[in-house]
Amino acid sequence: MSTTFVGMPAFPDAARAATGNAQLRHNLRKATHTIRDKRAAVVDELDDWARLRAAGAAIKDRVLRHLDVYLERLEASVTAAGGTVHWAADAAEANRIVTDLVRATGHDEVVKVKSMATQEIGLNEALGEAGITAYETDLAELIVQLGDDTPSHILVPAIHRNRSEIREIFRTRMAEWGVPAPEGLTDDPRALAEAARVHLREKFLSTKVAISGANFAVADTGTLVVLESEGNGRMCLTLPDTLISVVGIEKVVPTWSDLEVFLQLLPRSSTGERMNPYTSTWTGVTPGDGPREFHLVLLDNGRSATLADTVGRQALRCIRCSACLNICPVYERAGGHAYGSVYPGPIGAILTPQLRGVTSELDASLPYASSLCGACYEVCPVAIDIPEVLVHLRERVVEGKGHRAEKAAMAAAGWVFGDDRRLALAQRAAGAARGLVPRHLPGPGAAWTDTRDIPDIPPESFRDWWRKRHTKEGEQ
């Protein structure tokens, strides 16, 4: 399997393949329903959830409205605390900055905290080309990395794997990357976690450079914040000499007190916990304690363009909790890989086409990867109206080239619906042809009749029935 998403087919094709994979559908159904139910339980127990959600959205919107101000404030605070701030307009620039920073340390290995931003820019691949090996230390990211795989979920990147597959990956691949899996490794979750712990411990103790992302960056104090469950992040953030954090520009919040809202919203929405096990915060460098050198790389990579779109910009509120993935009936059946991006599911369907544009066939297919059922909007902790943005992006796709048959069909339907007499004529034509409709339709209609029967077309429309009924009444 490829470790990047380049050359992926459009969503419907990839999703069709996934729906045929019974093991994958079983894994996904079990995992998403478990997290979904946990989330519902810990959200329902808070009577002020709706207000927390509104507060989360409001804080993010305020930051986005004055993003320039908060980013410059963040830069000043981080610099004052002894860190160095770098600005990266796109993935290539961010990768170049990080590669140069690692090279300057003289080391050729880095440990990594789970980070969406570094996956978005393909940092591991860029470092690899420069002869630098990046070790993922999050358990699920480790599974993905050892398996030459791509993540399929934001929170649970190896959600598509079951424990016997994980055992096989550990058994066959760990030795290439460091400490091998123990003899006779079973698929018992505790045994698998222990094998990963032993494998990773060596990396934590020997690697001098760490790379992270951040869930939040506090403008007032220059503090960065990472929430995690395993403690691997805490190791990476404290043991190495040099720490480099790659953070999307939308991750800034004004003050520490704003964190109060998000530290409640995020764990309950993502892992379904009242509080996550590890919350690490760091502010610049502290002599004698933790990394001696700290670099913050602020990443744009399409975010400013997204911000310019008044409807689409709400996607930048996202705190990467994955609640929308776990509730989504489409994600559950298609799996994360079908979205062809590190951001799968409903949020990916609105984020990827904004960050990357809708020029590729895959990216143009993403806004349609939804039945618009609205479950994602309902669970989103920062109230991103995902269906609204999906429809907005469909408008953008339709404005582009292609879709000729669909445009003609929509124009024809618009013409028929533009006048009730035209509609009545069309209905009479359909009624007259009702006996001619085959059980299996040809062409695009086959997409319907492959799995579903079509309803009988009635001989008379409601409109004609009504007219007759009222003409009769008038005559009486």
Partner 1 sequence: MRIALFITCVNDTLFPRTGRAVLRLLERLGHEVEFPQAQTCCGQMHYNTGYRRDAQKLAVRFVETFADYDAVLVPSGSCAGMVRDNYPRLGEPGSRLRREVERVAPKVLDLSELLVDVLGVTDVGAYFPHRVTYHPTCHGLRLLRLGDRPERLLRAVRGLELVELDGATECCGFGGTFAVKNAAVSAAMGSDKARHAADTGAEVLCAVDNSCLMHIGGTLSRQRTGVRVLHLAEILASTEEEPAL
Going by the DSSP 8-state scheme, the letter that residue 317 receives in this structure is G
CB of 224 to partner 1, least distance (A): 36
CB of 293 to partner 1, least distance (A): 48
**Where does residue 437 fall: left (phi above 0), alpha (psi -120 to 50 degrees), or beta otherwise?**
beta
CB of 107 to partner 1, least distance (A): 46
Of the pair 128, 417, the CB lying nearest partner 1 is at 417
Q: Among 323, 304, 317, 366, which residue's Cα sits nearest to residue 5? A: 366
Of the pair 128, 445, the CB lying nearest partner 1 is at 445
Please give the single-letter amino acid code of residue 59.
I
Residue 72 main-chain phi, psi, to 5 deg: -70, -35
As a whole number of angstroms, the distance between CA 476 and CA 69 comes to 76
Using the structure block, give the residue that is written with the tokens 């304690």. 289
Of the pair 182, 374, the CB lying nearest partner 1 is at 374
SS (H, E, C) 88-100: ECCHHHHHHHHHH
**β pairing state of 109-112 and 252-253:** unpaired
Of the pair 23, 304, the CB lying nearest partner 1 is at 23
Q: For residue 60, what are the CA distances in angstroms to 42, 155, 387, 476? A: 23, 21, 19, 66
CB of 29 to partner 1, least distance (A): 9
Q: Among 26, 34, 35, which residue's Cα sits nearest to residue 165? A: 26
CB of 393 to partner 1, least distance (A): 8
CB of 379 to partner 1, least distance (A): 11
CB of 422 to partner 1, least distance (A): 8
As a whole number of angstroms, the distance between CA 220 and CA 80 comes to 11
CB under 8 Å to 205, separation ≥6 — which residues? 239
Instruction: Cite the DSSP H helix spans in 299-344.
Output: 303-307, 323-327, 329-334
CB of 376 to partner 1, least distance (A): 10
CB of 347 to partner 1, least distance (A): 17
Of the pair 305, 423, the CB lying nearest partner 1 is at 423
Binding footprint of partner 1 on the chain (CB under 8 A): 11-12, 15-16, 19-20, 25, 329-330, 333-334, 367-375, 377-378, 388, 391, 394-398, 406, 410-411, 413-414, 416-420, 423, 427, 430, 444, 447-448, 450-455, 457-458, 460-463, 465-467
As a whole number of angstroms, the distance between CA 199 and CA 177 comes to 9
Of the pair 414, 438, the CB lying nearest partner 1 is at 414
Of the pair 274, 407, the CB lying nearest partner 1 is at 407
Instruction: Cite the DSSP H helix spans in 110-188.
Output: 116-120, 123-129, 139-146, 163-177
Instruction: Pull the structure tokens for residue 402.
Output: 């292609």
Of the pair 263, 397, the CB lying nearest partner 1 is at 397
Of the pair 191, 373, the CB lying nearest partner 1 is at 373
CB of 164 to partner 1, least distance (A): 24
Cβ distance 178 to 199 under 8 Å?
Answer: yes
Of the pair 275, 311, the CB lying nearest partner 1 is at 311
**3-class DSSP state of 438:** coil
Going by the DSSP 8-state scheme, the letter that residue 385 receives in this structure is -
